[in-house]
Amino acid sequence: MAIVLLAFAGRTPTGLFCLCIGTFLTVGSWLLYRVSAAGIPWRWTGLEPIFLLGLGLVILQLTPLPTDLLEQLSPGLPHLLGADLTVSEDGLVPSWTVLSLTPRESRLSLGGLACVSLLFLVMVQKLQNREFARRSVVGVALFSALYGVFATVQYLTSNGKFFWLIENAYTGTATAAKGSFTNANHFAGFVCLSLGPLLAWAMAKSFNQPKKQSAWGNSSPQGLNEARLLIGGAGVVALLLAAVLSVSRGGILLAGAGIVIPIALLLTKRLTDSKFPVVIGVMALLATAGISMFGEEFFNRNALELATADIKELDDGDARQFVWQANFNAQQEFLWVGGGLGSHRDLIPAFHPASLDNRVYSHAENAYIQIGTELGMAGWILFSLCLVRIVWQLITFVFFSSSDDEDLPLAVGVAGSVAVFLTQGSYDFAWYAPAYMLVILFYVAYLFRRPSEEQEAIEFRRIGFAPAFLLLILTGSAGWVAPSLYQAAQAEGPTMRYLVQTRKLANFENTEEELMSLKMRVGHLQQALSADPTDGRNYLRLSSCLRRVYELNSLQAQLPMPVTQIRAAVYSGGFQDADAVKTWLDNPGVMKSMLPLVRASLHASRKAIACSPCFTGAWLTQADLCFVESPAADLPDYFIERARRVQPHSADIVFAEGYHAWNNGNVEEAITHWKTIFADHHSERSRILELTTSSFSPEQMVQFIEPDWDSMYWIARSYALADHPQKAEAAAILARLTLEAALHLPTDDQAGVFSRAFSLLSRHGEPGTTQSFIATSTKLQPESTALRKVFGQYLFRLKEFQQAEPHLAYYLERVSHDPDALKMLQTCRAQREQQALSPVQPASSRRFR
């Protein structure tokens, strides 16, 4: 469990592989021991058939099925796969024969599901030993507290890396306590799972048992009671502090559930003594002191937001409502068996009710809803049966069993853990983190311990055929996907290096710099794919990188013929078949060395589609580059429609439609498409500007796009980066639109807007235009020291000392020490004094007065 927890909570392929190896070793050794030696008989929980049916459901999703059966089980699948579309060229689109839309993710998730199920069943058997069970539950709770201490220290001394060494492409440790979790909400849920058992263990009264019956060996009951209060109380405080420092509003809610329910049950069952109020007060005081020292700001903000009960604000503007509605839409189409375990991230964009602006929902923000999306009605039924069985066992153990008073406190604590688990499931999906599931299932396994009177009457014997066969089936399921887990774990390193490098990308100053970066990233992806050739997302990334290389070379006129001319020639109807097209393109006077690059990009995108039909980018690459393999003019429209089926509100599709029109010479239609996405989508905007900057003047761009001041900044920047002859004109338009927009902006925002526009004007604008911008900006923002400084520096470089002097003087009056600015101001004053003695003024001063 510890290894899985440290491996990013088991969420990564490496963590899943560690979980698989640990499961094989644990279950294998225990099974061999029980085959060779007598022990406590197998404890049936009633969950075994549910586990088998759940694994069977996922295996069904991965099994190739006839088309008719696929349509019956998943009525929405034909539409998503474009079964109603016709295309003149066969063989370019791989067929689809399984229910899961993401088979690789389903296989990896199946491995985690099988391993967690196996470990739960073995934990139930191990916890039949009464003394071992108590020690184990307390040990896991204390280990969780130590983990919370580690997470707190890592956050307070963070350098942004996990364990101060490992850089993650998606997140860091500087903004919240996370431990080894990549999601702070999941970390908060994990530490709160142990609040109940640890609190109940610390607060339960001593029952004056003999030394030999003590759960801690030969310690006396009085000494044990004091140790429990000290160690347990410190652990509870550590868990609470870690939950608060996770900066998770849900963490506060979960901490409340993990504390209130055990306390209520402890009082109801009279399991505490007279020291209870005092100890609770001391714990509260220590927790308050810790929070006030390290997390008071986070706690107050999150508690206030929870207290306001503004659902929309708590939901970040209906973000959860948005994805929940998308999930409900998907469940209507994939009602019976879902879209595949682990498919949520790739399936759900097809059902978004509106544009998402490139935001990715890796999970449904609700565990119960996500079960319905990925496993359908069958998954909901199985989960409901499992939940009813566990809750009934909990109620029976706490309220109706004849267990002695030493067993009840921990069961009461487990009730708090179950409450945390169910509460978090209503607004998050932490269940796909194996470390999280292992802890909650370990606590639940304690509930299935035989009552004391049954343990005294049991007869020791070797394991029977039925439980041994059950374990072998579950182990076989895990073994079936173990090679996939190993491949994914091997590919994780180069994939993460690619992601880290991609995340660090800045705006490139020239094409050569971007090409060098692409070469390095392609190398990482090729290494990852050689280890795991089933990773469709890496094929998609590789295709995008190769396509970008081709685009950059096209923009630099590295092709003997323009791309638009080549594409038009292919679709003109002069070629009888694909072989004729390939023969013509192989001509050195047509595509030269770029043809292998285009074919490699097409091949990678087709591999991605073979892994999952839900990759929008792969379909759009096919639409853009399919002309090198087929003269069928309807293919681009077919591929764009396939992309629209899996992500109907994607800005990439709008760009592709405009690009298709652009290549066909229909500029007006292209601009009509691009205008709708230009302002809000940065990556598409950059590609639009690459195509249009060399073809239109700045005034024409303003006429076509009708940009606001922010969009005009990017237009002007594009002209500047291209060193276009009209870059000064673009900068002048930027200055005009910025000043017009500033009149309608809040005063606090104006300085940032002016600074951004001035950064371009100062380098690429005409001096007269820039000086006029400075004058107007100063009237609107006379007290901005940052603006006054850069304005003064710019005017000083122009030798406009008289205009620079008031800006520098104002700046230095409010800044304690800036030697460079002071030297400039002294020079300005010296020039002013010199001009006062001279009867002739400089020409520059006369010109701009």
* 152-180 per-position pLDDT tens digit: 999 999 998 999 988 888 888 988 999 99
Mean pLDDT of all residues in 568-581 = 83
Tokens read off for 81 = 């796969």
Handedness of CA 661, 665, 668, 670 (dihedral sign): positive
pLDDT at 531 over 80: yes
- Position 353 scores a pLDDT of 78
Q: What is the dihedral of CA 369, 371, 375, 381, to 10 degrees?
A: -100
pLDDT at 736 over 50: yes
Mean pLDDT of all residues in 601-620 = 95
Per-residue confidence at 308, pLDDT binned at 50, 70, 90? low
Q: What is the dihedral of CA 238, 240, 246, 252, to 10 degrees?
A: 180
Averaged pLDDT score across all residues of the chain: 86
Q: Please state whether 297 falls in left (phi above 0), alpha (psi between -120 and 50) or beta.
A: alpha
Residue tagged 């199946």 (tokens): 110
- Position 629 scores a pLDDT of 87
pLDDT at 314 over 90: no
Strand-pair partners of 587: none
- Position 215 scores a pLDDT of 45
- By the 10 Å C-beta count (0-12 exposed, 13-18 middle, 19+ buried), 161 is classed as middle
Please count the other Cβ atoms lying within 10 Å of the Cβ belonging to residue 396.
13
CA atoms within 13 A on the CB side of 45: 32
pLDDT at 389 over 70: yes
Q: Report d(CA 497, CA 750) in Å as an integer.
A: 39
- Position 218 scores a pLDDT of 47
pLDDT tens digit string along 419-432? 999 999 998 988 88
Question: Which range has the worst mean pLDDT, 45-54, 120-129, 308-317, 654-663?
Answer: 308-317
> Which has more confidence, 402 or 55?
55
Burial 114-150 (b: 16+ CB within 10 A, else e): bbbbbbbbbbbbbbbebeebbebbbebbbbbbebbbb
pLDDT at 493 over 50: yes
Per-residue confidence at 587, pLDDT binned at 50, 70, 90? confident
pLDDT at 560 over 80: no
In sequence order, the 6+-apart residues with CB closer than 8 A to the CB of 62 are 98, 99, 100, 103, 106, 107, 110
Mean pLDDT of all residues in 41-67 = 94
User: Where do the H-state alpha helices sit in 37-66?
Assistant: 48-62
Mean pLDDT of all residues in 34-60 = 89
- Position 5 scores a pLDDT of 67
Q: Report d(CA 358, CA 74) in Å as an integer.
A: 27
Helix or strand holding residue 257 (H, E): helix 249-268
Question: Which range has the worst mean pLDDT, 81-85, 124-128, 267-271, 458-462?
Answer: 458-462
- Position 356 scores a pLDDT of 62
Per-residue confidence at 817, pLDDT binned at 50, 70, 90? confident
Strand-pair partners of 166: 162
- Position 309 scores a pLDDT of 52
- Position 211 scores a pLDDT of 47
For residue 122, what are the CA distances in angstroms to 31, 128, 173, 348, 479? 9, 10, 35, 36, 17
Helix (H, G, I), strand (E, B) or coil at 354: coil
Q: Report d(CA 451, CA 459) in Å as an integer.
A: 15
Q: Tell me, what amino acid is at 605?
A: S
pLDDT tens digit string along 780-789? 999 999 999 9
For residue 585, what are the CA distances in angstroms to 89, 576, 629? 19, 14, 10
pLDDT tens digit string along 237-246? 899 889 988 8
- By the 10 Å C-beta count (0-12 exposed, 13-18 middle, 19+ buried), 213 is classed as exposed
pLDDT at 54 over 50: yes
Q: Tell me, what amino acid is at 680?
A: D
pLDDT at 201 over 70: yes
Contact 715, 679 (CB under 8 A): no
Please count the other Cβ atoms lying within 10 Å of the Cβ belonging to residue 471.
22
Per-residue confidence at 844, pLDDT binned at 50, 70, 90? very low
Mean pLDDT of all residues in 260-286 = 77
- Position 110 scores a pLDDT of 94
Mean pLDDT of all residues in 257-276 = 84
Contact 152, 287 (CB under 8 A): no
What percent of the chain stands above pLDDT 90? 53
Q: Report d(CA 132, CA 339) in Å as an integer.
A: 42
pLDDT at 848 over 50: no
Mean pLDDT of all residues in 174-197 = 92
User: Rounded to the nearest 5 degrees, what angle is found at the Cα of 622, between the Cα atoms of 620 and 623?
Assistant: 60
Q: Report d(CA 412, CA 66) in Å as an integer.
A: 50
Contact 802, 771 (CB under 8 A): no
- Position 425 scores a pLDDT of 94
In sequence order, the 6+-apart residues with CB closer than 8 A to the CB of 7 are 14, 15, 18, 180
pLDDT at 495 over 60: yes
- Position 621 scores a pLDDT of 94
Question: Which range has the worst mean pLDDT, 450-454, 759-763, 819-823?
Answer: 450-454
Q: Which pTM does this prediction carry?
A: 0.87
Q: Report d(CA 582, CA 564) in Å as an integer.
A: 17
- Position 169 scores a pLDDT of 80
pLDDT tens digit string along 698-723? 999 999 999 999 999 999 999 998 88
In sequence order, the 6+-apart residues with CB closer than 8 A to the CB of 249 are 302, 305, 306, 314
pLDDT at 363 over 80: yes
Tokens read off for 123 = 């934990």
Query: Measured in Å, how far apart are the chain's first and last C-alpha atoms?
Result: 76
